[in-house]
Amino acid sequence: MADLVAAAQTSLGAEDVMVRAVQFFTNEKWRPTTQSGRVATFQGRPPIPWGYILLTIIAFLCFIVPGIILYILLIRKMMQFQNLTVSASPASGRTDVNVTHPKHAKKLVDRFIALLPR
Cα separation, 53 vs 42, in Å, equals: 26
Q: Which residues, 6+ apart, have CB-to-CB distance to 97 below 8 Å?
A: 7, 8, 9, 10, 17, 86, 87, 88, 113, 116
Nearest CA among 88, 85, 108 for reference residue 10: 88
pLDDT at 66: 76
**pLDDT tens digits for 93-118?**
888 889 888 888 888 889 988 888 88
**In the chain, where the domains are located:** 1-45+81-118, 47-80
The arrangement of secondary structure in 1-45+81-118, i.e. its CATH architecture, is: 2-Layer Sandwich (3.30)
pLDDT tens, residue by residue, 29-55: 888 888 887 888 888 877 777 887 787
Q: Which SS3 state, helix, strand or coil, does residue 34 take?
A: strand
- 13 Cβ contact list (under 8 Å, min separation 6): 90, 95
